[in-house]
A = this chain, B = another copy of it.
Amino acid sequence: MSFQLNSPLDMHLHFREGAMLDLVAPLSAHSFSGGVVMPNLVPPVDDVHRLDAYERQVRAATSPLGFEPYMTLFMRPYTSEELSELRDRIIGVKLYPAGITTHSDQGVKNMDDVADTLRMMEEMEIPLLVHGETQGFVLDREVEFLSTYEQLASRYSKLKIVMEHITTLDALRLLDRYDNLYATVTLQHLMITLDDIAGGLMNPHLFCKPIAKRPEDRDALLSAALAPHPKLMFGSDSAPHPRDKKECCGCAAGVFTAPVALQILVELFAKHNALDALQAFTSDNARRIYGVNPPKKVVEFDNCGDVIPERYGDVIPIFAGQSTSYAITRVDTEL
């Protein structure tokens, strides 16, 4: 059986820099027509020079494949002049609470420090993207952050706020309580729970932040994606780490899913008789929410069976070596 997606989008991506970017960015650009590129480099992308340099690297690796990178800035207190200059070049500003995940040391320590910036973003209609976790106990971090989302959503009621990579039923419920809240969800959080990471043998390749939660959380997220929930977008949070940073005694957080995410999503949605919902989840919702118009790209899938590669360069993908029912059989960019 054949199935098509039009201009699929990945609304949360980590491309890194240099050789890693050259390895992973084309893999995303092959099957997606655009994606939100996260700014948590070292140093972060937080001024026009960093943005220029990073966008150039990203475009060089992806543009030939018909991919539009939606660039982001790393949240800090910005001036009105800075935001005015940059607003047309970015899709949003990404807020990391300080120290919460990979390369977030320079994140925001206190929301009051960026109050003026948030107000200006609201006026200039620049979306806010948030890694919403506290520094609390690992299973409570997202839920503890929800009150911050509520404060932001009510204080800046015209600011579009995207709760990135949500992992809990509680976050999903909040989505319906504020008009200006939206969310992304990853592939893995639709499929796995903490059991898959630490229930049997320990699996570092499924270890990510926020950590996968309980079965009822996973089930609620999957149901919302399959619905499709109009405010929920696919964002892989695909995060490449070299193998030696994953299979070691202190494994880094992040799952590499980008090159196989769409095939696995097609299989997942087909299994639940919800293929009709996948276009909204992987593209149309994001286009409407962000008002973007990505390059035309038709991606065709057939359930001819495939095997997920053991590795891409030195990076191990999710479900490496496992079989999957759908393969990408055609990508049309010239339409």
Contacts and interface: CB of A to CB of B under 8 A. Distances in A.
Given A137-B215, A214-B137, A247-B249, A202 B207 contact: yes
A251 B137 contact: no
Contacts of A249: 203-205, 246-247, 316
Nearest to A201: B250
A175 to B, nearest CB: 24
A47 interface: no
Most chain B C-beta atoms within 10 Å of own C-beta, residue among A197, A249, A251: A249
Contacts of A214: 137, 139
A246 B199 CA distance: 15
Interface string A210-242: 010011000000000000000000000000000
Contact of A201 (B197, B247, B253): B253
Contacts of A198: 138, 197-198, 207, 211
B137 A199 contact: yes
A309 to B, nearest CB: 15
How many copies are assembled?
2
A299 interface: no
Contacts of A197: 198
A250 B249 CA distance: 12
A262 interface: no
A41 interface: no
Q: Which of A201, A202, A246 is packed against the most chain B CB atoms within 10 Å?
A: A202
A125 interface: no
B201 A252 contact: yes
A202 B137 contact: no
A202 B202 contact: yes
Contacts of A248: 247
Nearest to A252: B201
Contact of A251 (B138, B199, B201, B250): B201
Interface string A112-129: 000000000000000000
A138 B204 CA distance: 16
A193 interface: yes
A194 interface: yes
Contacts of A215: 137
Given A197-B198, A198-B211, A211-B198, A203 B138 contact: no
A276 interface: no
A82 interface: no
A195 interface: yes
B137 A193 contact: yes
Interface of A: 137-139, 193-195, 197-199, 201-205, 207, 211, 214-215, 246-253, 316
Across the A-B interface, the 5 shortest Cβ-Cβ residue pairs: A201-B250, A202-B251, A138-B199, A202-B207, A247-B249
13 contacts: A137-B193, A137-B214, A138-B198, A138-B199, A197-B198, A202-B207, A202-B252, A203-B249, A204-B251, A205-B249, A246-B249, A247-B249, A249-B316
Given A137-B215, A201-B250, 9 more contacts: A137-B193, A138-B198, A139-B214, A198-B198, A198-B207, A198-B211, A202-B251, A203-B250, A246-B249
